[in-house]
Structure 1
């Protein structure tokens, strides 16, 4: 099946609605995507008929056990994990990262070093800063290239040394859309025996993750950013699955991924994860495996999103009194269709509010990327306006956005 925006949009009830007699345009994807009907139906079906816990000798518990197995398999296909056993679930990426940071840092000591970046959402910064503080380790923060808001990879690499225990970095900026050459960092970190923890929350909706290709030790993302429910997903490389010592209750399993999953999981959420991965894979129907279907689907997403970026950047070039913080290329290999803007005569909050009055949904602020807005000296002025497209957005919505922006900022 060939991807078309109309076929995509027909699956999302949220995209069909009006509010105050106006259509709704969701350009807030980096904060959380809309959800297709298939995901809603899967979650409702589980809760309506099979709500149970694991390990019982009856049908709904057995259904739940099978559901959890299937969710791991679908998440493993999404990130290309070696095995479904390498997939761990939790409340969200932030909670999982804080939790895993406790286990990963157990053996750290004074003199050890950790590297974070100024490009990251602070879920992948504060977790490691606090873990390092507990152990007396030193934290370095790699800067960004202010010209195009990309990670200064050369600066990061210069920070890696024999004392480095972990490098934490994002795969793509949730604020500027800049994509990072993670593989290069992984290779340099592994050369000195350091681990690498990757935040793929913003990357996963736009590009297909390949943890085996990256060779990373850990990778985390959130299903609610790729058309699913609020469930966090973490990949743990095989070498760490049983060598790390998690904080857990004594009776809980000490085998497989369950040793990292504290408490009862959101099984209805896992039903939604399965449905979300199936939704993503539907555009690769002629392929044999789920992973191959995902590869083909994402190729079509990338083509459409590049066209959206091209249209956005073309309009932006004709708009006066606005600055883009990020790459000026539309190439989907270099950036996601997420754009950070500031305006000469309007604060980010004013722009976001006026767009919101017309049902054009965007965000303003720092988006927890504090290192980025601080290095760019934008924190005190209110950060940026973030406009984030998904593959369910259309070229016509780009045009509508700029029609409204021209109306707002005209003298």
Structure 2
């Protein structure tokens, strides 16, 4: 396999280029959304400038738009290893979750239980909690361990029972980066015939995904997290999708996946999604697109792991830093949440933005249940640095330099 070159990869991102009289940003906000790759931009512009149209017409631009959606589904199918007809597009992950939750109403009764987690982004909690409230069902939470930042799965059989009808869990935390053992959760849920919803929004940018192997019923992700435009993607197993009573207009298509796609879709974004997946494919090698995508993701993960090892070692050795990171041996994405003794999170991120042109985020990141449990909200939540494959070792070293400077001028000064 050819050598991975971060310089060549960075050349595919216009946002990273230095403009005249403008210092380039250092983007450490990947978990909130990556920058867009050139193939995604090219795809969007080609569709916009080549003639936009709605679907199902006899004229060429409409036929081309029909084909665009088909190709978008095929591209996602190769990325996630699902069937094209299992792929639906929409506004975002949250909208998809609420739409699916509403359609699952007929399957839920007041004697049923719905299981969510304390670790997840609220987009994979509140749609299902709302469903439970509407139907009078009981909600159970899989707890997060406040010391290991992993889900406590020892009592899974007591949480997921014969009464459980739906289990929603995130593949990876968008805060701590913890990759959950969802295989164990899915196996238990399937043993009691529960529907399984997987939030893979934070996982897809960093991990090779195999929907068929996972065996879940629904997997949700967003294109803007992996180098594309703002677009939601729902993968729904055909066995569930075909019987899902989706709320839709009467004349709209009844077949899958069209029946979930209410109204006119964001066609230019779907063109951008195809370009984003092509960008990942271009990083790998293989005879098929699926093989090239898997190879590309493996190379991205290997590069990010080098940077991860450096940052983790650095943050762990600083006494003033409280790092919320799962123990060694637990798989994690390149996402770090930490706090600094006595300092509000926004003070830190604002200082980095002003002095180092670094995009570092702060807050609870909608993982508000975990934020409450871990007591970080009084400090304005966490400081989060999240990597993408276009980040470099030089940028990591600058972050280390900046944090040491901030601590010496702000934290230690307070302690005197």
**TM-score when scaled to structure 2?**
0.95
Q: Could you tell me which residue of structure 1 aligns to residue 91 of structure 2? A: 91
Shift in CA distance, 233/150, structure 1 to aligned 2, threshold 3 Å:
same
Show the counterpart of 1:12: 13
After TM superposition, give the deviation of residue 301 of structure 1 in Å: 1.1
Secondary structure of the residue that 1:307 maps to in structure 2? helix
Q: Cα deviations across residues 130-153 of structure 1 (Å, max 9, x unaligned)? A: 111000001011111111211122
Are the equivalent residues in 2 in contact too, given 1:116–1:142 (CA < 8 A)?
Answer: yes
Counterpart Cα distance in 2 of 1:10 and 1:192: 49
Query: How many residues in Structure 1 have an aligned counterpart in Structure 2?
Result: 407
* Range 352-361 or range 191-200, more displaced: 352-361
Structure-2 residue corresponding to 1:397: 395
Q: Is the 8 A contact 1:143 1:155 kept in 2?
A: no
Report if aligned partners of 1:345, 1:409 keep a CA contact under 8 Å in 2: no
For residues 56 and 48 of structure 1, the distance between their equivalents in structure 2, rounded to whole angstroms, comes to 19
Q: What is the alpha-carbon distance in structure 2 between the residues aligned to residue 21 and residue 40 of structure 1? A: 22
Conserved in 1, the CA contact under 8 Å of 2:284 and 2:299?
no
Shift of 1:18: 5.7
Matched ranges for 1:317-328 at <5 A: 317-328=316-327
Report how far residue 320 of structure 1 moved.
2.8
Comparing 367-376 and 98-107, the one that deviates more: 98-107
For residues 227 and 75 of structure 1, the distance between their equivalents in structure 2, rounded to whole angstroms, comes to 14
Cα deviation code 1:117-171 (max 9, x no counterpart): 0110000100011111000001011111111211122244430000000000000
Query: How do residues 33-182 of structure 1 correspond to structure 2 at under 5 angstroms?
Result: 33-81=34-82, 83-182=83-182
Aligned equivalent of 1:338, options 328, 335, 346: 335
Aligned to 2:365: 367
Pick which of 49-58 and 318-327 moved more: 318-327
- 1:318 Cα deviation after fit: 3.4
Question: How many angstroms apart in 2 are the aligned matches of 1:267 and 1:2?
Answer: 35
2:408 equivalent to 1:407: no
Structure 1 residue 395 displacement after superposition: 1.1
Aligned with 2:106: secondary structure? coil
Separation in structure 1 between the aligned mates of residue 142 and residue 157 of structure 2, nearest angstrom:
9
Q: Does the residue aligned with 2:116 lie in a helix, a strand or coil?
A: strand
Q: Does the 8 Å CA contact 1:75/1:87 hold for their aligned counterparts?
A: yes
Residue 25 of structure 1 is matched in structure 2 by 26
Match of 1:291 in 2: 290
Secondary structure at 2:299 match in 1? helix
Unaligned stretches of 5+ residues in structure 1: none
Q: Is the 8 A contact 1:19 1:359 kept in 2?
A: no
The residue that corresponds to 2:348 in the other structure is 351
The runs of at least 4 aligned residues of structure 1 exceeding 6 Å deviation read: none
Q: Which residue of 2 aligns with 1:249?
A: 249
Q: Give unpaired runs (5+ residues) of structure 2.
A: none
- Cα distance in structure 1, aligned partners of 2:275 and 2:363: 32
Partner of 2:385: 387
